[in-house]
């Protein structure tokens, strides 16, 4: 099967591609194009990044200085936080304010657009919390099956 094609649930032997005759109704599984130049993909890559998610969550309803953000986000490097904040600012999700004092004080806050994204992220977090036990059980089942299959392969299927 070619990379980037999907097996059709109604046609397990065939594949589904952009030119296929399968009717998806309102749901277009290709709306998030995998091409590098796709705007939707670029935006999703940005907002779904773990550091971006954490920054957006922390900036909900409050302004924070760079050092406060860095202290709150475990494991993020200074460079990664700088890059993340610049990208979020470029996308109009975060506002950067430089106060004219010595040394300069810089604060970050969500823009109204960033606030709407926070609401969406909170919905995703709530879904995750609600279903975490089901996901943990599915992972345990999968891991047990994978371990059993590996053991069977090592013994030659005996």
Residues in the chain: 158
Q: Which conformational region is residue 64 in: left (phi greater than 0), alpha (psi within -120 to 50 degrees), or beta?
A: beta
Q: Which of 6, 3, 47, 1 is nearest to 29 (CA)?
A: 6
pTM over 0.95: no
| pLDDT tens string 98-111 | 999 998 899 999 99
| pLDDT tens string 27-79 | 665 555 556 667 888 888 888 889 999 999 999 989 999 999 999 999 999 99
CA atoms of 99 and 81, how far apart (whole Å)? 20
- Integer angstrom CA distances of residue 33 from 38, 78, 140: 6, 32, 32
Q: Bridge partners of 98?
A: 106
């Amino acid at each position: 099967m070619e990379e980037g094609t999907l097996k059709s649930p109604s046609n397990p032997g065939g594949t589904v591609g952009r030119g296929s005759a399968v009717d998806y109704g309102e749901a277009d599984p290709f709306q998030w194009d995998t091409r590098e130049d796709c705007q939707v993909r670029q935006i999703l890559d940005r907002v779904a990044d773990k550091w971006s998610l954490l920054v957006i969550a922390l900036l909900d309803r409050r302004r924070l200085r760079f050092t406060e953000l860095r202290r709150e986000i475990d494991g993020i490097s200074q460079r990664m936080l700088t890059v993340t904040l610049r990208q979020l600012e470029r996308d109009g999700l975060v506002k950067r304010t430089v106060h004219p004092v010595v040394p300069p004080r810089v604060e970050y806050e969500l823009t109204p657009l960033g606030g709407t994204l926070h609401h969406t992220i909170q919905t995703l977090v709530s879904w995750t919390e609600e279903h975490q036990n089901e996901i943990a059980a599915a992972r345990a089942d999968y891991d047990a099956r994978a371990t059993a299959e590996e053991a069977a392969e090592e013994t030659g299927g005996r």
